[in-house]
Amino acid sequence: MSNVFPRQITNPPIKAVSSDGCYIIDENGKQYFDGSGGAAVSCLGHGDPDVIKAVQDQTSKMAFAHTGFFSSDPAEELAELLIDNAPGELDRVYFVSGGSEAIEAAIKLARQFHIENGEPSRHHIIARKQSYHGNTLGALAAGGNKWRRNQFEPILIDASHISPCYEYVDKLKEETSFDYGQRVAQELEDEILRLGTDKVMAFIVEPVVGATMGAVPAVPGYFKKVRNICDKYGVLLILDEVMCGMGRTGHLFASEFDEIAPDILCIAKGLGAGYQPIGAMLCSKNIYNRLGKGSGFFQHGHTYMGHPVACAAALAVLKAILNRKLLSSIKSKSNQLFNCLETQLGHHPNIGDIRGRGLFIGIEIVKNIETKKPFDPNLKVAASIKHAAFEAGLICYPMSGTRDGKWGDHILLAPPFIINENQIIELVNKLSISIESLK
Protein backbone atom coordinates (compact mmCIF):
# COMPACT_ATOMS: atom_id res chain seq x y z
CA MET A 1 0.00 0.00 0.00
CA SER A 2 1.26 3.44 -0.93
CA ASN A 3 0.10 6.86 0.22
CA VAL A 4 1.94 8.64 -2.55
CA PHE A 5 -0.27 10.36 -5.13
CA PRO A 6 1.40 9.19 -8.37
CA ARG A 7 1.13 10.75 -11.84
CA GLN A 8 -0.87 7.77 -13.16
CA ILE A 9 -3.36 6.65 -10.54
CA THR A 10 -4.22 3.50 -12.49
CA ASN A 11 -0.60 2.63 -13.14
CA PRO A 12 1.64 3.68 -10.25
CA PRO A 13 5.40 3.39 -10.89
CA ILE A 14 7.87 0.97 -9.35
CA LYS A 15 10.56 2.37 -7.07
CA ALA A 16 13.97 3.54 -8.22
CA VAL A 17 16.54 2.81 -5.51
CA SER A 18 19.89 3.94 -6.87
CA SER A 19 21.58 5.57 -9.82
CA ASP A 20 25.04 5.72 -11.30
CA GLY A 21 26.34 7.68 -14.29
CA CYS A 22 23.84 7.23 -17.13
CA TYR A 23 21.86 4.51 -15.32
CA ILE A 24 18.97 4.24 -12.84
CA ILE A 25 18.41 0.98 -10.92
CA ASP A 26 14.95 -0.13 -9.77
CA GLU A 27 13.88 -2.03 -6.64
CA ASN A 28 14.33 -5.36 -8.46
CA GLY A 29 17.89 -4.57 -9.47
CA LYS A 30 17.03 -3.88 -13.12
CA GLN A 31 19.20 -1.22 -14.75
CA TYR A 32 17.82 1.44 -17.15
CA PHE A 33 19.79 3.65 -19.49
CA ASP A 34 18.59 7.21 -18.86
CA GLY A 35 18.20 8.24 -22.49
CA SER A 36 16.12 11.32 -21.75
CA GLY A 37 17.69 12.44 -18.48
CA GLY A 38 14.18 11.95 -17.04
CA ALA A 39 12.74 14.92 -18.92
CA ALA A 40 15.95 16.66 -20.04
CA VAL A 41 17.05 17.07 -16.43
CA SER A 42 20.05 14.85 -15.60
CA CYS A 43 22.60 16.51 -17.86
CA LEU A 44 25.60 15.41 -15.77
CA GLY A 45 24.25 11.92 -15.20
CA HIS A 46 23.76 10.51 -11.72
CA GLY A 47 26.20 10.60 -8.80
CA ASP A 48 28.42 13.47 -9.89
CA PRO A 49 30.91 13.81 -6.97
CA ASP A 50 31.45 17.59 -7.36
CA VAL A 51 27.75 18.38 -7.22
CA ILE A 52 27.17 15.99 -4.33
CA LYS A 53 30.01 17.62 -2.39
CA ALA A 54 28.66 21.11 -3.10
CA VAL A 55 25.25 20.08 -1.74
CA GLN A 56 26.78 18.43 1.34
CA ASP A 57 29.06 21.39 2.08
CA GLN A 58 26.31 23.96 1.73
CA THR A 59 23.87 21.90 3.80
CA SER A 60 26.33 21.70 6.68
CA LYS A 61 27.28 25.38 6.41
CA MET A 62 23.76 26.81 6.07
CA ALA A 63 20.78 24.97 4.62
CA PHE A 64 18.35 27.88 4.51
CA ALA A 65 18.16 31.61 5.11
CA HIS A 66 14.96 33.35 3.96
CA THR A 67 15.47 35.71 1.01
CA GLY A 68 13.27 38.28 2.74
CA PHE A 69 16.25 38.81 5.05
CA PHE A 70 19.39 37.50 3.35
CA SER A 71 21.20 36.74 0.13
CA SER A 72 23.81 33.96 0.14
CA ASP A 73 27.21 33.21 -1.38
CA PRO A 74 25.96 30.42 -3.68
CA ALA A 75 23.10 32.60 -5.02
CA GLU A 76 25.45 35.53 -5.65
CA GLU A 77 28.13 33.41 -7.29
CA LEU A 78 25.65 31.49 -9.45
CA ALA A 79 23.92 34.67 -10.63
CA GLU A 80 27.26 36.21 -11.57
CA LEU A 81 28.39 33.16 -13.54
CA LEU A 82 25.05 32.91 -15.37
CA ILE A 83 25.07 36.59 -16.30
CA ASP A 84 28.74 36.45 -17.39
CA ASN A 85 27.67 33.83 -19.94
CA ALA A 86 24.17 35.06 -20.80
CA PRO A 87 23.17 36.71 -24.08
CA GLY A 88 22.44 40.40 -24.65
CA GLU A 89 21.50 42.72 -21.82
CA LEU A 90 20.40 40.06 -19.35
CA ASP A 91 21.63 41.33 -16.01
CA ARG A 92 19.67 39.93 -13.06
CA VAL A 93 18.69 36.43 -11.99
CA TYR A 94 15.56 35.57 -10.00
CA PHE A 95 15.95 32.08 -8.53
CA VAL A 96 12.91 29.83 -8.09
CA SER A 97 12.34 26.10 -7.67
CA GLY A 98 11.50 24.89 -11.18
CA GLY A 99 10.41 25.69 -14.72
CA SER A 100 6.76 26.58 -14.13
CA GLU A 101 7.73 28.96 -11.34
CA ALA A 102 10.26 30.63 -13.64
CA ILE A 103 7.55 31.14 -16.29
CA GLU A 104 5.07 32.52 -13.73
CA ALA A 105 7.70 34.99 -12.58
CA ALA A 106 8.42 35.99 -16.19
CA ILE A 107 4.74 36.64 -16.96
CA LYS A 108 4.22 38.69 -13.81
CA LEU A 109 7.43 40.64 -14.34
CA ALA A 110 6.38 41.48 -17.92
CA ARG A 111 3.07 42.82 -16.62
CA GLN A 112 4.63 44.83 -13.80
CA PHE A 113 7.28 46.25 -16.14
CA HIS A 114 4.67 47.66 -18.51
CA ILE A 115 2.68 49.18 -15.65
CA GLU A 116 5.77 50.90 -14.26
CA ASN A 117 6.77 51.88 -17.79
CA GLY A 118 3.52 53.84 -18.13
CA GLU A 119 1.68 51.33 -20.34
CA PRO A 120 -0.85 49.64 -18.04
CA SER A 121 -3.06 48.56 -20.96
CA ARG A 122 -0.49 45.92 -21.93
CA HIS A 123 -1.69 42.63 -20.48
CA HIS A 124 -2.02 40.16 -23.36
CA ILE A 125 0.34 37.21 -23.89
CA ILE A 126 1.03 35.75 -27.30
CA ALA A 127 2.55 32.26 -27.46
CA ARG A 128 2.54 29.44 -30.02
CA LYS A 129 0.33 26.44 -30.66
CA GLN A 130 1.80 23.19 -29.44
CA SER A 131 4.12 24.86 -26.92
CA TYR A 132 4.54 23.82 -23.29
CA HIS A 133 5.48 26.32 -20.63
CA GLY A 134 4.52 24.47 -17.44
CA ASN A 135 1.52 23.31 -15.47
CA THR A 136 0.79 26.15 -13.04
CA LEU A 137 -2.17 28.24 -14.18
CA GLY A 138 -0.26 31.17 -15.75
CA ALA A 139 2.22 28.87 -17.49
CA LEU A 140 -0.57 26.53 -18.64
CA ALA A 141 -2.48 29.52 -20.05
CA ALA A 142 0.59 30.54 -22.03
CA GLY A 143 1.11 26.99 -23.35
CA GLY A 144 -0.54 26.04 -26.62
CA ASN A 145 -0.99 22.30 -26.19
CA LYS A 146 -4.71 21.62 -26.41
CA TRP A 147 -4.67 18.32 -24.55
CA ARG A 148 -2.93 19.85 -21.52
CA ARG A 149 -5.22 22.91 -21.53
CA ASN A 150 -8.65 21.43 -22.34
CA GLN A 151 -10.28 20.73 -18.99
CA PHE A 152 -8.70 23.78 -17.32
CA GLU A 153 -9.63 26.22 -20.11
CA PRO A 154 -12.37 28.01 -18.11
CA ILE A 155 -9.90 28.99 -15.39
CA LEU A 156 -7.04 30.09 -17.67
CA ILE A 157 -6.23 33.71 -18.52
CA ASP A 158 -6.63 34.71 -22.16
CA ALA A 159 -3.67 34.09 -24.44
CA SER A 160 -3.27 34.01 -28.23
CA HIS A 161 -1.54 31.15 -29.99
CA ILE A 162 0.13 31.62 -33.35
CA SER A 163 1.64 28.82 -35.47
CA PRO A 164 4.87 27.16 -34.36
CA CYS A 165 7.84 26.98 -36.71
CA TYR A 166 7.43 23.32 -37.69
CA GLU A 167 9.21 22.84 -40.98
CA TYR A 168 8.71 19.07 -41.32
CA VAL A 169 4.92 19.38 -41.45
CA ASP A 170 3.98 22.96 -42.30
CA LYS A 171 6.50 24.20 -44.89
CA LEU A 172 4.94 24.34 -48.34
CA LYS A 173 6.76 22.49 -51.15
CA GLU A 174 7.27 25.66 -53.18
CA GLU A 175 8.66 27.61 -50.17
CA THR A 176 12.28 27.85 -49.05
CA SER A 177 12.95 27.19 -45.35
CA PHE A 178 13.76 30.85 -44.90
CA ASP A 179 10.53 32.04 -46.54
CA TYR A 180 8.54 29.57 -44.48
CA GLY A 181 10.08 30.97 -41.29
CA GLN A 182 9.32 34.54 -42.34
CA ARG A 183 5.71 33.58 -43.08
CA VAL A 184 5.06 32.02 -39.68
CA ALA A 185 6.95 34.77 -37.84
CA GLN A 186 4.71 37.31 -39.62
CA GLU A 187 1.78 35.81 -37.69
CA LEU A 188 3.23 37.50 -34.61
CA GLU A 189 2.97 40.96 -36.12
CA ASP A 190 -0.51 40.19 -37.48
CA GLU A 191 -1.68 39.09 -34.03
CA ILE A 192 -0.19 42.16 -32.31
CA LEU A 193 -2.04 44.37 -34.80
CA ARG A 194 -5.26 42.40 -34.35
CA LEU A 195 -5.14 42.69 -30.55
CA GLY A 196 -4.00 46.31 -30.54
CA THR A 197 -0.43 47.56 -30.33
CA ASP A 198 -1.02 48.90 -26.81
CA LYS A 199 -2.45 45.60 -25.52
CA VAL A 200 0.30 43.01 -25.89
CA MET A 201 2.83 42.59 -23.07
CA ALA A 202 4.93 39.63 -24.20
CA PHE A 203 5.60 36.90 -26.72
CA ILE A 204 6.72 33.67 -25.08
CA VAL A 205 8.44 30.96 -27.07
CA GLU A 206 10.74 27.93 -26.74
CA PRO A 207 13.84 28.31 -28.98
CA VAL A 208 13.72 24.53 -29.51
CA VAL A 209 10.30 23.05 -28.72
CA GLY A 210 10.68 20.12 -26.34
CA ALA A 211 8.04 17.94 -24.70
CA THR A 212 5.06 18.73 -26.93
CA MET A 213 6.71 18.48 -30.38
CA GLY A 214 10.00 16.62 -29.90
CA ALA A 215 13.05 18.87 -30.31
CA VAL A 216 11.84 21.19 -33.06
CA PRO A 217 14.23 24.09 -33.76
CA ALA A 218 13.18 27.11 -35.83
CA VAL A 219 14.44 27.66 -39.39
CA PRO A 220 17.16 30.28 -40.05
CA GLY A 221 15.89 33.84 -39.88
CA TYR A 222 12.75 33.06 -37.87
CA PHE A 223 13.97 34.36 -34.52
CA LYS A 224 15.61 37.46 -36.03
CA LYS A 225 12.25 38.44 -37.47
CA VAL A 226 10.52 37.68 -34.16
CA ARG A 227 13.03 39.87 -32.32
CA ASN A 228 12.47 42.73 -34.79
CA ILE A 229 8.69 42.54 -34.45
CA CYS A 230 8.92 42.57 -30.64
CA ASP A 231 11.21 45.63 -30.78
CA LYS A 232 8.94 47.42 -33.25
CA TYR A 233 5.90 47.13 -30.97
CA GLY A 234 7.49 47.25 -27.51
CA VAL A 235 6.51 43.63 -26.82
CA LEU A 236 8.82 41.78 -24.43
CA LEU A 237 10.40 38.60 -25.79
CA ILE A 238 10.38 35.81 -23.20
CA LEU A 239 12.44 32.79 -24.17
CA ASP A 240 11.53 29.55 -22.44
CA GLU A 241 14.78 27.60 -22.25
CA VAL A 242 13.58 25.46 -19.36
CA MET A 243 14.17 22.32 -21.41
CA CYS A 244 16.54 23.39 -24.18
CA GLY A 245 18.85 25.63 -22.13
CA MET A 246 21.92 24.92 -19.99
CA GLY A 247 23.98 23.28 -22.69
CA ARG A 248 21.37 20.81 -23.94
CA THR A 249 21.70 22.03 -27.55
CA GLY A 250 25.50 22.39 -27.41
CA HIS A 251 25.18 26.08 -26.47
CA LEU A 252 24.84 27.18 -22.88
CA PHE A 253 21.78 29.19 -23.91
CA ALA A 254 19.87 27.70 -26.85
CA SER A 255 19.10 31.11 -28.34
CA GLU A 256 22.83 31.74 -28.95
CA PHE A 257 22.39 29.61 -32.08
CA ASP A 258 19.68 31.95 -33.38
CA GLU A 259 21.86 34.97 -32.59
CA ILE A 260 19.19 36.84 -30.70
CA ALA A 261 18.81 37.92 -27.10
CA PRO A 262 15.57 37.98 -25.11
CA ASP A 263 14.26 40.51 -22.60
CA ILE A 264 13.48 37.68 -20.19
CA LEU A 265 14.82 34.13 -20.23
CA CYS A 266 13.70 31.12 -18.18
CA ILE A 267 15.81 28.10 -17.29
CA ALA A 268 15.39 25.09 -14.97
CA LYS A 269 15.86 21.32 -15.47
CA GLY A 270 19.57 21.11 -16.46
CA LEU A 271 20.35 24.04 -14.16
CA GLY A 272 20.11 21.79 -11.13
CA ALA A 273 20.65 18.63 -13.20
CA GLY A 274 18.30 16.79 -10.83
CA TYR A 275 20.54 17.26 -7.79
CA GLN A 276 18.28 20.02 -6.48
CA PRO A 277 14.98 21.52 -7.67
CA ILE A 278 15.87 24.94 -9.07
CA GLY A 279 14.81 27.26 -11.88
CA ALA A 280 15.63 30.83 -12.74
CA MET A 281 14.27 33.84 -14.56
CA LEU A 282 16.87 36.17 -16.05
CA CYS A 283 15.84 39.69 -17.03
CA SER A 284 17.41 42.63 -18.83
CA LYS A 285 19.00 45.62 -17.16
CA ASN A 286 16.27 47.81 -18.64
CA ILE A 287 13.45 45.84 -17.00
CA TYR A 288 15.26 45.62 -13.67
CA ASN A 289 16.10 49.32 -13.63
CA ARG A 290 12.55 50.30 -14.52
CA LEU A 291 11.28 48.56 -11.37
CA GLY A 292 14.25 49.87 -9.42
CA LYS A 293 13.40 53.46 -10.28
CA GLY A 294 9.67 52.83 -9.89
CA SER A 295 8.10 50.80 -7.11
CA GLY A 296 11.48 49.47 -6.03
CA PHE A 297 10.29 45.90 -5.77
CA PHE A 298 8.86 43.01 -7.76
CA GLN A 299 5.50 41.99 -6.35
CA HIS A 300 6.20 38.28 -6.30
CA GLY A 301 8.11 35.70 -4.23
CA HIS A 302 8.22 32.14 -2.92
CA THR A 303 9.49 30.75 0.38
CA TYR A 304 12.15 28.62 -1.28
CA MET A 305 13.37 31.11 -3.88
CA GLY A 306 17.15 31.48 -3.94
CA HIS A 307 17.51 28.38 -1.76
CA PRO A 308 21.21 28.22 -0.81
CA VAL A 309 21.56 24.46 -1.25
CA ALA A 310 19.79 24.52 -4.62
CA CYS A 311 22.01 27.41 -5.73
CA ALA A 312 25.14 25.59 -4.53
CA ALA A 313 24.16 22.51 -6.55
CA ALA A 314 23.41 24.59 -9.65
CA LEU A 315 26.69 26.46 -9.27
CA ALA A 316 28.58 23.16 -9.23
CA VAL A 317 26.60 21.99 -12.29
CA LEU A 318 27.32 25.17 -14.22
CA LYS A 319 31.02 25.03 -13.32
CA ALA A 320 31.10 21.41 -14.50
CA ILE A 321 29.48 22.33 -17.84
CA LEU A 322 31.92 25.20 -18.39
CA ASN A 323 35.15 23.89 -16.84
CA ARG A 324 34.94 20.32 -18.14
CA LYS A 325 34.43 21.69 -21.67
CA LEU A 326 31.20 19.73 -21.99
CA LEU A 327 29.71 22.09 -24.59
CA SER A 328 32.27 21.19 -27.25
CA SER A 329 32.00 17.47 -26.47
CA ILE A 330 28.19 17.70 -26.86
CA LYS A 331 28.69 18.68 -30.49
CA SER A 332 30.74 15.58 -31.34
CA LYS A 333 28.49 13.28 -29.30
CA SER A 334 25.51 14.79 -31.08
CA ASN A 335 27.00 13.91 -34.46
CA GLN A 336 27.63 10.33 -33.33
CA LEU A 337 24.10 9.97 -31.99
CA PHE A 338 22.50 11.45 -35.13
CA ASN A 339 24.63 9.16 -37.34
CA CYS A 340 23.74 6.11 -35.31
CA LEU A 341 20.03 7.00 -35.37
CA GLU A 342 20.10 7.63 -39.13
CA THR A 343 21.91 4.34 -39.79
CA GLN A 344 19.64 2.21 -37.65
CA LEU A 345 16.32 3.98 -37.94
CA GLY A 346 16.61 6.30 -40.94
CA HIS A 347 15.11 3.71 -43.31
CA HIS A 348 12.40 2.49 -41.00
CA PRO A 349 8.99 2.84 -42.71
CA ASN A 350 7.53 4.69 -39.72
CA ILE A 351 10.34 7.11 -38.91
CA GLY A 352 9.33 10.36 -40.55
CA ASP A 353 11.87 12.78 -39.14
CA ILE A 354 14.98 12.74 -36.96
CA ARG A 355 15.71 16.29 -35.80
CA GLY A 356 17.01 18.48 -33.04
CA ARG A 357 20.21 20.11 -31.92
CA GLY A 358 23.04 18.94 -29.68
CA LEU A 359 21.90 16.20 -27.31
CA PHE A 360 18.27 17.23 -27.72
CA ILE A 361 16.84 14.99 -30.40
CA GLY A 362 13.30 14.26 -31.58
CA ILE A 363 12.13 11.33 -33.66
CA GLU A 364 8.72 11.72 -35.27
CA ILE A 365 6.79 8.51 -35.86
CA VAL A 366 4.34 8.45 -38.78
CA LYS A 367 2.07 5.89 -40.37
CA ASN A 368 3.25 6.85 -43.85
CA ILE A 369 6.54 8.60 -44.54
CA GLU A 370 5.44 9.82 -48.00
CA THR A 371 2.26 11.56 -46.85
CA LYS A 372 3.62 12.19 -43.30
CA LYS A 373 0.24 11.02 -42.03
CA PRO A 374 0.38 10.16 -38.31
CA PHE A 375 -0.98 7.00 -36.68
CA ASP A 376 -4.54 6.92 -35.33
CA PRO A 377 -4.33 8.44 -31.80
CA ASN A 378 -6.38 5.51 -30.45
CA LEU A 379 -3.40 3.24 -31.14
CA LYS A 380 -1.42 5.13 -28.44
CA VAL A 381 1.82 4.62 -30.32
CA ALA A 382 3.94 6.83 -28.05
CA ALA A 383 2.69 5.08 -24.92
CA SER A 384 3.46 1.65 -26.33
CA ILE A 385 6.99 2.71 -27.33
CA LYS A 386 7.56 4.11 -23.84
CA HIS A 387 6.42 0.80 -22.35
CA ALA A 388 8.53 -1.31 -24.73
CA ALA A 389 11.59 0.88 -24.11
CA PHE A 390 11.19 0.58 -20.35
CA GLU A 391 10.96 -3.21 -20.73
CA ALA A 392 14.16 -3.09 -22.81
CA GLY A 393 15.91 -1.07 -20.08
CA LEU A 394 15.69 2.35 -21.69
CA ILE A 395 14.19 5.57 -20.36
CA CYS A 396 13.14 7.83 -23.23
CA TYR A 397 10.40 10.45 -23.50
CA PRO A 398 7.75 9.50 -26.08
CA MET A 399 4.68 11.73 -26.39
CA SER A 400 1.50 11.78 -28.46
CA GLY A 401 -0.22 14.83 -29.88
CA THR A 402 2.85 16.13 -31.73
CA ARG A 403 0.79 17.75 -34.50
CA ASP A 404 -2.12 19.35 -32.65
CA GLY A 405 -2.35 17.95 -29.13
CA LYS A 406 -4.13 14.82 -30.40
CA TRP A 407 -2.59 13.54 -33.64
CA GLY A 408 1.06 12.64 -34.06
CA ASP A 409 3.72 10.81 -32.04
CA HIS A 410 7.35 11.49 -31.26
CA ILE A 411 10.16 10.30 -29.02
CA LEU A 412 12.38 12.82 -27.27
CA LEU A 413 15.98 11.92 -26.41
CA ALA A 414 18.05 14.03 -24.02
CA PRO A 415 20.82 11.80 -22.67
CA PRO A 416 23.35 12.93 -20.06
CA PHE A 417 26.26 14.94 -21.53
CA ILE A 418 28.62 12.23 -20.18
CA ILE A 419 27.21 9.58 -22.55
CA ASN A 420 30.08 7.66 -24.23
CA GLU A 421 30.40 5.95 -27.61
CA ASN A 422 29.31 2.51 -26.40
CA GLN A 423 26.37 4.00 -24.57
CA ILE A 424 25.24 5.81 -27.73
CA ILE A 425 25.12 2.39 -29.39
CA GLU A 426 23.29 0.92 -26.38
CA LEU A 427 20.72 3.73 -26.47
CA VAL A 428 20.02 3.35 -30.19
CA ASN A 429 19.89 -0.47 -30.00
CA LYS A 430 17.37 -0.39 -27.18
CA LEU A 431 15.36 2.29 -28.96
CA SER A 432 15.30 0.21 -32.17
CA ILE A 433 13.99 -2.78 -30.23
CA SER A 434 11.23 -0.60 -28.78
CA ILE A 435 10.24 0.80 -32.16
CA GLU A 436 10.22 -2.68 -33.70
CA SER A 437 7.54 -3.56 -31.16
CA LEU A 438 5.21 -1.33 -33.23
CA LYS A 439 4.77 -4.15 -35.77
Ligand X SMILES: Cc1ncc(COP(=O)(O)O)c(C=O)c1O
Per CB under 6 A, residues contacting ligand X are: 39, 98-100, 103, 132-134, 206, 210-211, 240, 242-243, 268
Q: Which is nearer to ligand X, 93 or 340 (CB)?
A: 93
Q: Between 326-345 and 308-323, two packed helices, what is the crossing angle to 10 degrees?
A: 80
- Which residues neighbour 129 within 8 Å (Cβ) at sequence distance 6 or greater? 144, 161, 162, 163, 164, 404
Nearer to ligand X, 207 or 352 (CB): 207
Residue with smaller CB distance to ligand X, 268 or 385 = 268
In angstroms, give the least distance from the CB of 135 to ligand X. 6
Rounded least distance, CB 40 to ligand X, Å: 7
CB 312 within 8 A of CB 55: yes
| Least distance in angstroms from the C-beta of 373 to ligand X | 27
Selection from 326, 398, 404, 313 nearest residue 359 by Cα: 326
Q: To the nearest whole angstrom, how small is the minimum distance from the Cβ of residue 131 to ligand X?
A: 7
Let me know: does 143 contact 165? Beta carbons within 8 Å. no
End-to-end CA distance of the chain: 36
Helix (H) or strand (E) holding 146: helix 146-149
Amino acid identity at 235: V
**Residue least distant from ligand X (Cβ):** 99
Minimum CB–partner distance for residue 118 and ligand X (Å):
30
Helix axes 308-323, 49-61, angle to 10 degrees: 150
- Dihedral, CA of residue 50, residue 13, residue 28 and residue 37, to nearest 10: -30
* CB of 340 or CB of 363, closer to ligand X: 363
Q: Which is nearer to ligand X, 132 or 180 (CB)?
A: 132
Residue number with CB closer to ligand X (248 or 290): 248
Q: How far is the CB of 49 from ligand X (least distance, A)?
A: 25
